[in-house]
Chains A and B, each alone.
Chain A
Amino acid sequence: MKNSRQQKRRLMTGNEAMAEAAVKAGCDFYAGYPITPQNEIIAYMAKAMKQCGRAFIQAESELAAINMVFGASSTGRRSMTSSSSPGISLKQEGISYLAGAELPAVIINVMRGGPGLGNIAPSQADYFQTTRGGGHGDYFTPALSPWSVEEAGELTVLAFDLADYYRNPVLVLADAVIGQMMEPVSLKFKKVFKKNLPKKDWALGCLKKKSPKVVKSFFLKEGLLELHNLKLEKKWEQIKKSEQRFSTYKVKDAEILIVAYGSQARMAKEAVDILRKQNINSGLFRPISLWPYPEKGLRKTAEKLKRLVVVEQSLGQMVDDVRLALPEKEVYFLGKTGGGVPSTLDIVKFVKKQI
């Protein structure tokens, strides 16, 4: 017989954990289109959703997939799609429409190298696209970035709750390392469930005793769109206030702070330990929500520090948000692009150069 520890933990890839978490979170509808490095999600969903009698569609394109999600969401059902960078570019049309029509949905992006077809290696170069709206119009999407397989699952569940709570699409921004690597996971995702989600009384589907419902983002008459967008702005402000998430590692006595997210933060964490063995008191600040950016936490953590090092798998995108949050600090940047990953030793070397 298995002991209880074995029963509770399973070896899974990040992609599989996000898919399983979606099923556990009560995802009723999934539509996707294959693209590396997230193909395990669509394969997992094909099996799992069909097994539990929920809707799964392999769509003809990312455009179709996100618009199917638009339709599914408009019925009030929990719905999700997943893709990787070039596919997310195509999904931007639908994400903008979802945000405009205030429809909840979860969109997973397992980032790969770009621009263009790029390659299938790890990357964090979709940060701008993710945190600045991505599609057309004045809107934002909360974006959560996991650094472990377990957290990939937890954040997927949280994404469903945030989406329902705020009536807005929510992105889970994983990089290819997180999507592909295997770790033991507990699949105990429940603890992040948010209570008291609002009733979906806007959903289409049953007119009995009610007036007709319309799902739309179109406001032609003068001034109406402005009013709608100002209403949405209040939502963005509320999200900015309430949903900043981050974690820290050995920051109490740190003299230099490393800021990194996703798989890059794991290497940064290791670098902190190595640096400390060499008597350099460093610490790690890891944003979990990329939008809203955890600027309150960052400011507090970096209060007494002069210097920060930002490490990314890109030419430098999140570093802009760090500089915006801390205009008076010295912020140094280490990055690699096109599928390159700054290694632990790269980080150690770079930090030592700055002090």
Chain B
Amino acid sequence: MKKKFSRPQSLKDVSTHYCSGCGHGILHRLVAEVVDELGLRDKIIGVAPVGCAVVAYDYWDFDVSEAAHGRALAVATGIKRCLPKNVVFTYQGDGDLASIGLAETVHAANRGENLTCIFVNNACYGMTGGQMAPTTVVGQRTATTPWGRDPGSGEGWPLHLSEMLKDLNGVTYIVRSSVSSPKQVVKTRQYIKKAFMNQISRKGFSLVEVLSSCPTIWQKSALESVKWIEEEMVKEFPLGVIKE
């Protein structure tokens, strides 16, 4: 009988530290599956963020570099310019990519760095205990928006990073998806594959934004979290191809 499903070679056989219902685990697997499918395991170099995925290298079975909080795209730029034949990607949260690392993000994209960026949008800072992120939606309660994010009181509006980057000439491909349903997971996998293939054919900067659940900080069950993505988050961050 033919084996249909197994652990990707690029994913270590260990259990992760992520909370149950967290989107990071699914996304790690998707990245590993795509790396295997494209036969990139000896060519890929990942750059892990500061955030809940800080130890992604404990789970992926290929070369990975650390980066300081927000600087993943600068680190990836350095790697890629030295090893143009390798495939280099960053894996970053919303705090990492859209707050402390915003300048690095905008400029790597604008330079048209031939990189792939996986942007995990969970609308909060997970690792530090659930503070407001640039992507926190209006009214969402976090440790630092105890009464819900209130734009009028100086907390600002949710930042639409993908839309912000779309008009930059260096950007090839931007897409937003989620991991809230099997259908979306399959789509996300296709998007990630396309983003890697863009890099292989030297098309420049590609970014895949993924709406991902954080049950712990959202204080919701895994199911409620999925529902919250589909009912609330997508209103603020509509899914689909943003630039192609």
Contact = CB atoms under 8 A, between A and B. Distances in A.
Indicate, yes or no, whether A interacts with B.
Answer: yes
A204 B45 contact: yes
B143 interface: no
Given A29-B81, A74-B65, A97-B68, A205 B76 contact: no
Interface string B130-167: 00000000000000000000000000000000000000
Interface string B97-120: 000000110110001000000000
A63 B77 CA distance: 13
Contacts of A77: 82
A82 interface: no
Contact of B64 (A75, A79, A212): A212
Contacts of B103: 60-61, 63-64
B4 to A, nearest CB: 26
A71 to B, nearest CB: 3
A68 to B, nearest CB: 4
A280 interface: no
Nearest to B76: A71
A68 B78 contact: yes
Given A67-B104, A208-B42, A216-B66, A72 B82 contact: yes
B66 A206 contact: no
Given A204-B79, A205-B86, A216-B57, A59 B65 contact: no
Given A205-B45, A207-B42, A212 B63 contact: yes
Given A64-B71, A215-B66, A206 B42 contact: yes
B167 to A, nearest CB: 18
A74 B54 contact: no
A84 interface: no
Interface string A239-274: 000000000000000000000000000000000000
Interface in A164-208: 204-208
Contacts of A71: 47, 65, 67, 74-80, 82
B22 interface: no
Nearest to A65: B74
B139 to A, nearest CB: 33
A75 B82 contact: yes
B83 interface: yes
A70 B45 contact: no
Nearest to B107: A60
Contacts of B86: 205
B66 A218 contact: yes
Contacts of A29: 78, 81-82
B55 interface: yes
B63 A207 contact: yes
Contacts of B66: 97, 101, 214-218
A78 B40 CA distance: 25
Contacts of A216: 57, 65-66
B98 to A, nearest CB: 16
B61 interface: yes
Contacts of A324: none
Contacts of A206: 42
Nearest to B104: A64
A166 B54 CA distance: 26
A57 interface: yes
B43 interface: yes
A114 B74 CA distance: 28
A28 B104 contact: no
B171 to A, nearest CB: 16
Contacts of A72: 78-79, 81-82
A205 B77 contact: no
Interface string B42-61: 11010100000011010011
Contact of A207 (B62, B74, B107): B62
Nearest to A73: B78
A55 interface: yes
5 shortest interchain CB distances as A-B pairs: A71-B78, A67-B74, A207-B42, A72-B78, A71-B75
27 contacts: A55-B82, A60-B103, A60-B106, A67-B74, A69-B78, A70-B67, A70-B74, A71-B74, A71-B80, A71-B82, A72-B81, A74-B75, A74-B79, A75-B78, A77-B82, A79-B78, A94-B68, A205-B83, A207-B62, A212-B60, A212-B62, A213-B63, A214-B64, A214-B65, A215-B64, A216-B65, A216-B66
Given A74-B75, A212-B60, 19 more contacts: A28-B82, A57-B77, A60-B103, A64-B71, A70-B68, A71-B47, A72-B79, A72-B82, A74-B65, A75-B82, A75-B83, A94-B68, A94-B71, A205-B82, A208-B42, A212-B61, A212-B63, A212-B64, A214-B66
